[in-house]
Structure 1
Amino acid sequence: MGDGNPVVVIGAGPTGLAAAAELVHRGLPVLVLEQGATAGAAVAEWGHVRLFSTWRDLVSPAAQTLLATTGWERPDDDAHPTGAEWVAHYLEPLAAALAPRVRFGATVVGVSRRGRGRVVDTGRADEPFTVRVRAAGGQERLLARAVVDASGTWGKPSPLGADGLPVPGETEAADRLTHRIPDLTDEEQRARYAGGTTAVVGRGHSALTTLVTLAGLVENHPGTRVVWVLRRDELGDTFGGGEADQLAARGDLGARAKAAVDSGRVRVVTGFRTAEARPTGGGVVLVDDSGQELEEARRVVALTGFRPDLSWLGEIRLGLDATLEAPVALAPLIDPNVHSCGTVYPHGAAELSHPEPGFYLAGMKSYGRAPNFLALTGYEQVRSIAAEIAGETEAASRVELTLPETGVCSGSGLDEEEPTAVDAGCCGGPAPVELTATRSTSP
């Protein structure tokens, strides 16, 4: 299958760079392809958000070993970095330590087998992968012995519609709608929200972070209103496990969001399934499937989850769960319709494999549409994957993972709502990212 070819890792986020470090540790050639201009480009887009996890859980063991050879100083294990700090103090130094194995400005537009389309069986497993890359100089074809897709889901947020489809008017209202947590430390962004009404759609940790952020504006800027739009009919366990949450910052976020609601700074609308986004002269009016209209909002923050982009994997034989778009063996372990406790069973190469030998989804993309991905999960995934690629069968199968529980264990994890996660990080990202974020930097 071309053992002289490198393992191609797609994405220079936390999981992708950890995969590269694991492969280097095993003496395997590796090439990381990142469409952004820097390491952690997706994480940088939510750089103002502070993580739930501390530095203790945000540095992969293989990366630590590699960085130690460069004189890198590990941050305080007990500190909670922002996304920007994670990039500056870990991801960028790690990419530098991996140089020249990391290429930026390289967008993967297709993956296949050399000379073998999806339907061809003969000699398929004996051929290397072909990876089509678009860069400044045009397109090129690279050969790979294996492919690890750690590109995340941050670039494909879910639309407003409760049926999973964009609602009428959503495209037309795009200039008044965002799928990102507002950065109110930026004066230009702050001006967009101060003194007007903002509708926040979604119930995950990104939504809670946004509510806490915007609630601070209500007190200091007259006329500022926040409307929280939920598909579920009641709040239930939306605020999480509080003091029972083993990630203290995550429990604190839920408590602060609850305080914002209880104080009246955030108005809650439940049982609202968006069916239309009607642009107006000054904003947008959300309409549900019964015809109920909300008050006009100047801005809509739609934190309705993320989904994987599979469009450029059409020639790869993927084994995906019909519901989550996650690997078939992994899906039952992470299904939010069943699991709501924040626990994830240990899993690695065996659960992440596909009918296409040597191809793996890792990181947030491996979760498909399931939320709440932790960096620790991604680091253990790629350790196991790297061991399998290197032929270390026993090490690949020896998967151990203990994650902090949310303190919430009450039936369905979804309850007709799609929790969100920031891709590639501590608890979701994403966002995204490969991650769910925690407290906002705003007061």
Structure 2
Amino acid sequence: MSDLPVVVIGAGPQGLAAAAHLRERGLTPLVLEAGPVPAFAVSQWAHVRLFSGWNELVDPAAARLLEPTGWSAPTEGYPTGGEWIDSYLAPLAAALGDLVRTGARVTGVSRKGRDRLIDAGRDEQPFTVHVTTAGGCEGKIDALAVIDASGTWTSPNPAGADGLPAIGERAAAEAGVITYLPPTPEQADGFAGRHLVVVGAGHSAMTAVIQLGAIAETNPGTRVSWVVRRGGSGVSFGGGAADQLPERGALGLGAKAAVDKGLVELVTGFRTDAVTLADGRAVLRGEDGRELAPADHVIVLTGFRPDLSFLTEMRLELDATLQAPVRIAAEVDPNIHSCGDVRATGAADLSHPEKNLYLVGMKSYGRAPTFLAMTGYEQVRSVAAELAGDHEAAARVELVLPDTGVCGGSGAFDDPAGSSGGCCGPASAAPELIQLTAPGR
């Protein structure tokens, strides 16, 4: 099998970096991207500014591959998704050339001649990767190993509080009243004078709230409601000035500072149960019977989940809660991980009973939030070393992740006072309903 390629699923930041590391190790990568262009998922949020600086967004092996072409790594500032593509990801894909195939959607991964039930000779058989092209043609590729860097972008979580779409949510999404992506500047231009609802409490939701709050500030009559599931002071605004990534901390600071202006209404302890359409607007009803005022547009930013549908013939060892590899789950589980720092992960942490199969990048975190690009770069460095037989390099840790500045997590889920527990002791109580806004950025 040594002549076979290592199939990398997804031509995003981690997939392209994996290809660079594999090539540097003398292995042949083949990157399969479902989208029409490399880094297609990043292009969907091209207008959003990252909170990681350029020094954290360029993989070392990728930089070594690009430097002979005359490329030089940007060093200053925090790029948008579009700038990340233009200045790094697109040149990297071009340097990899025919090793990257776009319009190639992976529909299944198995062992050649073996379904998941067969033990005999399993590890000696190559992988078989089933692919459908943009034109509808089907084929399969034999592979030495598979690195799944497909991310989670195509599988957003619903607004429904039980992890399933709320009653009526699908119909509202089909009508275009509910969307699951951060609003683009072009979309936001049409939001003035309307009632907008943001559902979610993470960094993407904060970014949208800041953006919409700025619109409300300059356009009287615009109403913005921010809906979060946790009650009371369980709402976390991040680590603020204690965050070792300043731009990430600034998101929380901006959101918290916005309370004084009253342009955004923060509704806590609201767990969406149903969505009703009326005259082209959506009414969200909570499990406790509360209803929000009819919304012209609902932006659901409640995180993402991994798409495991094409891995059903693979023997995976995933955490029952997070759907992440079991050896990293405790590190990233928001239910129990509350003190701000996460260790780097490598090939040993990401391995499965299926030999030479690795889930890397955002997909390796399952349903957990807050994944950093540099985490993925360290993962693929280690995996490439392992596949090349350099076990010492694979076991070595070459990354220390920055502290989030967050201690105590997001509070007890059902505690109306939002006591945090964890390593920082109880948090002070807060009103059930507060006013929130923030300056534009």
Task: Give the alignment's TM-score, normalised by structure 2.
Answer: 0.92
Residue 425 (structure 1) aligns with: none
Could you say which residue in structure 1 is the equivalent of 2:336?
338
Q: CA deviation at 1:238?
A: 1.5
Matching residue of 2:4 = 5
Code of the residue aligned with 1:69 in structure 2: it is P
TM-aligned CA deviation for residue 37 of structure 1:
1.3
Q: Which residue of 2 aligns with 1:328?
A: 326
Give the whole-Å Cα distance in 2 for the aligned partners of 1:341 and 1:81. 28
Structure 2 contact 280–296 (Cα < 8 Å) conserved: yes
* Stretch moving more, 49-58 or 232-241: 232-241
What is aligned with 2:364? 366
Q: 2:422 is matched with which residue? A: none
Deviations 1:200-254 (A, max 9, x none): 1110011110110001111222210001111111234511121111111111111
Q: Which residues in structure 2 correspond to 1:60-79 (within 5 Å)?
A: 60-75=59-74, 77-79=75-77
Deviations 1:132-151 (A, max 9, x none): 01012600110000000000
Residue 276 in 1 paired to residue 298 in 2?
no
Deviation (angstroms), 1:262: 2.2
Segment of structure 1 superposing worse, 79-88 or 338-347: 338-347
Q: Indicate whether 1:252 and 2:250 are aligned.
A: yes
CA contact (8 A) 1:108 1:134 kept: yes
Question: Are 1:231 and 1:416, in contact at CA under 8 Å, matched by a contact in 2?
Answer: no
Q: Larger deviation: 233-242 or 262-271? A: 233-242
Q: Please say which of residues 355-364 and 408-417 is displaced more in the overlay.
A: 408-417
* Distance in 1 of aligned mates of 2:344 and 2:300: 32
Measured after TM superposition, the shift of residue 286 of structure 1 is: 0.3
* Contact 2:200/2:301, CA 8 A, preserved across alignment: yes
Distance 1:105 1:225, change over 3 A: same
Structure 1 CA distance for aligned equivalents of residues 213 and 146 of structure 2: 44
Which secondary structure does the structure 1 equivalent of 2:232 belong to? coil
**C-alpha distance in 1, partners of 2:148/2:87?**
24
Q: Distance in 1 between matches of 2:167 and 2:379?
A: 40
Q: Is the 2:234–2:410 Cα contact (8 Å) retained in structure 1?
A: no
Amino acid at match of 2:347: A
CA RMSD of aligned residues (A): 1.6
Q: Distance in 2 between matches of 1:127 and 1:47?
A: 41
What is the TM-score with the length of structure 1 in the denominator?
0.91
Match of 1:240 among 238, 246, 262: 238
- Match for 2:216: what amino acid? V
> How far did 1:78 drift?
3.0
The DSSP-based 3-state class of the residue aligned with 2:116 is: coil
Output the CA distance in 1 between the equivalents of 2:28 and 2:245: 37
C-alpha distance 234-252 of structure 1, shift in aligned 2 (>3 A)? same
1:156 paired to 2:129: no
| Overall identity of the aligned pairs, in % | 58
**Matches of 2:207 and 2:233 in 1, distance apart?**
16
| Cα offsets for 1:5-35 (capped at 9, x unmatched) | 0000000000000000000001111100001
Correspondence for 1:143:
142
Task: Describe the shift of the 1:197–1:141 C-alpha distance in structure 2 as closer, same or farther (beyond 3 A).
Answer: same
- Cα deviations by residue, 1:95-147 (Å, 9 ceiling, x for unpaired): 01111100000000000000000100111111000000101260011000000
Instruction: Specify the SS of the correspondent of 2:87.
Output: helix
Alignment map for 1:37-436 (pairs within 5 Å):
37-75=36-74, 77-135=75-133, 136=135, 138-174=137-173, 175-184=176-185, 186=186, 189-236=187-234, 238-411=236-409, 415=413
Distance of 2:188 and 2:351 partners within structure 1: 45
- d(CA) in 2 for partners of 1:284, 1:67: 49
Asked whether the 8 Å contact 2:334–2:409 carries over to 1, the reply is no
Change (3 A) 1:275 1:342: same
- Cα distance in 2, alignment partners of residues 217 and 346 from structure 1: 39
Aligned length: 416
Structure 1, unaligned runs of 5 or more: 418-439
Query: Aligned partners of 1:413 and 1:147: how far apart in 2?
Result: 38
2-structure distance, mates of 1:413, 1:9: 38
Asked if the contact 1:50–1:441 (Cα under 8 Å) also holds between the matched residues in 2, the reply is: no
Alignment check: 8 A CA contact 2:188 2:212 kept: no
Give the gaps of 5 or more residues in structure 2. 416-437
Determine if contact 1:336/1:413 at 8 Å carries over to the other structure.
no
Query: 1:3 is matched by which residue type in structure 2?
Result: S
User: SS where residue 327 of structure 2 aligns?
Assistant: coil
Residue identity in the other structure for 2:291 = E
Amino acid across the alignment from 1:323: T
Instruction: Identify if the C-alpha distance between structure 1 residues 414 and 92 changes in structure 2 by more than 3 Å, giving closer, same or farther.
Output: farther
- Give yes or no for contact 2:35–2:103 (8 Å, CA) kept in 1: yes
Tell me, yes or no, if the aligned pair for 2:235 and 2:411 is still in contact at 8 Å.
Answer: no
Closer, same or farther: CA 190–442 of 1 in aligned 2, 3 Å? same
| SS of structure 2 residue aligned to 1:378 | helix
Which letter maps to 2:64? T
The one-letter amino acid paired with 1:197 is: H
Instruction: Judge which range, 284-293 or 232-241, deviates more.
Output: 232-241
Q: Counterpart in 1 of 2:432?
A: none
Match of 1:29 in 2: 28
Q: How far apart, in 1, do the equivalents of 2:339 and 2:44 lie?
A: 28
CA distance in 2, matches of 1:327, 1:179: 26
C-alpha separation in 2, matches of 1:414 and 1:34: 40
Residue type of the alignment partner of 2:407: C
Asked if 1 retains the 8 angstrom alpha-carbon contact of 2:258 and 2:439, the reply is no
Could you tell me which amino acid in structure 2 is paired with residue 26 of structure 1? Answer: R
